[in-house]
Structure 1
Amino acid sequence: MSGPEPDGPPPTALHGPSRAWLGLASVLAAPVVAVLAFLYADHSEPGTVDRWFIDPTADSVGQPWRRVALALDFLGEPAGSVALVTLLVAGCLLLRRPRAAVLVAAGPVVSVVATTLIKPVVGRTIHGPGNLSYPSGHTAFATSLAIALALLAAGLFRLGRTAGFALVLGVALAGGAAMGWAQVALGAHYPTDVLGGWCTALVLVPATAWLVDRTAGRMCGAGLPVRR
């Protein structure tokens, strides 16, 4: 068994060396969400960009890929997402990374709540009235988890600025692309909905990580117990 960790500040939720680059990425992602929302407000058909990636007249993806898409989609549903987040939070706590555990739980919640609030404002629908589609909450959820886990890995392996940022961005792209593909393949979202969900998570998760660190720092400063 390993001995106790040396004294010092607890590991942060936000990867310190790449903080500036993550902040820049968030700043750049925010107008993408806004521009797409403006372009596709009250639309009910795929736009020009969407048609680059999908054929509206084509059938849904066939087997066995449909089963893969359904499995990914389940992870974004309430039962699947709660089970997945609970498992990952437990893993963070076993690694003695409480701030990462908070981010794994809070990041997806913040992103999904944001997409839920944006949808009725934009009013974009798919497959009839009432099926609000922009931005994709499933994609925002998957991307949020990917970013949180990549930030954890960057801290654990003590990566530098470039490597840490590349890891976070690469994992975010992979997680968002996997869930985004499933949503488009199942006909639940347009590709631009997926991009909007990905950018929403990229805006909010680094900010949430910063807030987790700031709140924990204030607790330490006030003399409140904080698990290290």
Structure 2
Amino acid sequence: MCLWPVAVLATLVVGLLGFMYAGHTQPGRVDRWFVKPTEDSVRGPWRRVALSLDFLGEPAGSVMVVGAAVTACLLLRRPRAAVLVVAGVALAVGAATLLKHVVGRTIHGPGNLSYPSGHTAFFTALALVGALFATGRLGLGRTAATSLVLAAALVAGAAMGWAQVALGAHYPTDVLGGWCTALAVVPATAWLVGRTAVAGRQERP
């Protein structure tokens, strides 16, 4: 499976959107096509769903989810997968955080940096890592494996992205930027973890 073309395209999208919305404080034209992102747009049960998803991207929720994923990997005797969970998620969120300060786009006033969405980057990265692990366990062919990984990323990104926009925390283009950030970072992280593991095996006596 080769995700490098996807990673390159995602990197270009992140850069383009960051350039377009650098320093902006209002939704762009594309954002207005979808929703008015400065107001909560869900009520009742759907709001509770959105808040639950949002919690998973908060520090407490993300630590719980990542901890559970790492524990599962270790119980299955897949330490490399556990490393990828931590590294992939940490680097995706770290990249999103750095980009927020570089781009400087805000929502709901000064100081509320919004591009790209760290919540979306986190949840997409977690789904990507999980899908990569699943494809290895299932022994899927290249096409099937790639389809599964991209489908997992799409579902996770759409779910968290919907929650962020519905709660008024991000513009739709912020969500797209967060999704693409994970798609850019995780494949490179997986390659690096794999190369490190191979090098480690070769160095053993």
The reply to whether TM is greater than 0.5 is: yes
- Equivalent residue number for residue 179 of structure 2: 198
- Equivalent residue number for residue 200 of structure 2: 219
- Equivalent residue number for residue 178 of structure 1: 159
More helix by share: 2
* Cα distance between partner residues in 1 of 2:50 and 2:71: 26
Q: Displacement of 1:60 after TM fit?
A: 3.0
* Cα distance between partner residues in 1 of 2:173 and 2:123: 16
* Cα distance between partner residues in 1 of 2:74 and 2:158: 28
* Cα distance between partner residues in 2 of 1:29 and 1:56: 23
RMSD (Å) for aligned C-alpha atoms:
1.2
- Equivalent residue number for residue 145 of structure 1: 126
- Equivalent residue number for residue 92 of structure 1: 73
Quote the sequence identity (%): 68
- Picking from 100, 111, 115, the partner of 1:134 is 115
Q: Is the 8 A contact 2:51 2:163 kept in 1?
A: yes
| Letter aligned with residue 209 of structure 1 | A
Q: Is the 8 A contact 2:85 2:126 kept in 1?
A: yes
Q: Displacement of 1:179 after TM fit?
A: 0.6
5+ residue gaps in structure 2?
Answer: none
Q: Displacement of 1:59 after TM fit?
A: 4.3
Moved more, 175-184 or 91-100: 91-100
| Letter aligned with residue 81 of structure 1 | S
- Equivalent residue number for residue 116 of structure 1: 97
| Letter aligned with residue 195 of structure 1 | L
- Equivalent residue number for residue 166 of structure 1: 147
- Equivalent residue number for residue 33 of structure 2: 52
- Could you give the per-residue CA deviations for residues 63-115 of structure 1, whole angstroms, max 9, x where no partner exists? 11111111101100111100110101111112222111111111110011111
* Cα distance between partner residues in 2 of 1:132 and 1:63: 28
Which runs of structure 1 show a deviation greater than 4 angstroms over 4 or more consecutive aligned residues? 56-59
- Equivalent residue number for residue 88 of structure 2: 107
With structure 2 as the length reference, what TM-score do the two structures score? 0.97
Rg: which structure is higher? 1
* Cα distance between partner residues in 1 of 2:59 and 2:40: 27
With structure 1 as the length reference, what TM-score do the two structures score? 0.87
Aligned residue pair count: 205
Q: Residues 155 and 48 from structure 1, CA distance in 2 versus in 1: closer, same or farther, beyond 3 angstroms?
A: same
- Could you give the per-residue CA deviations for residues 140-165 of structure 1, whole angstroms, max 9, x where no partner exists? 00000000000011011100010000
* Cα distance between partner residues in 2 of 1:80 and 1:134: 21
Q: Residues 56 and 155 from structure 1, CA distance in 2 versus in 1: closer, same or farther, beyond 3 angstroms?
A: closer
- Picking from 52, 65, 84, the partner of 1:71 is 52
| Letter aligned with residue 191 of structure 1 | P
Q: Displacement of 1:55 after TM fit?
A: 2.6
* Cα distance between partner residues in 2 of 1:59 and 1:177: 17
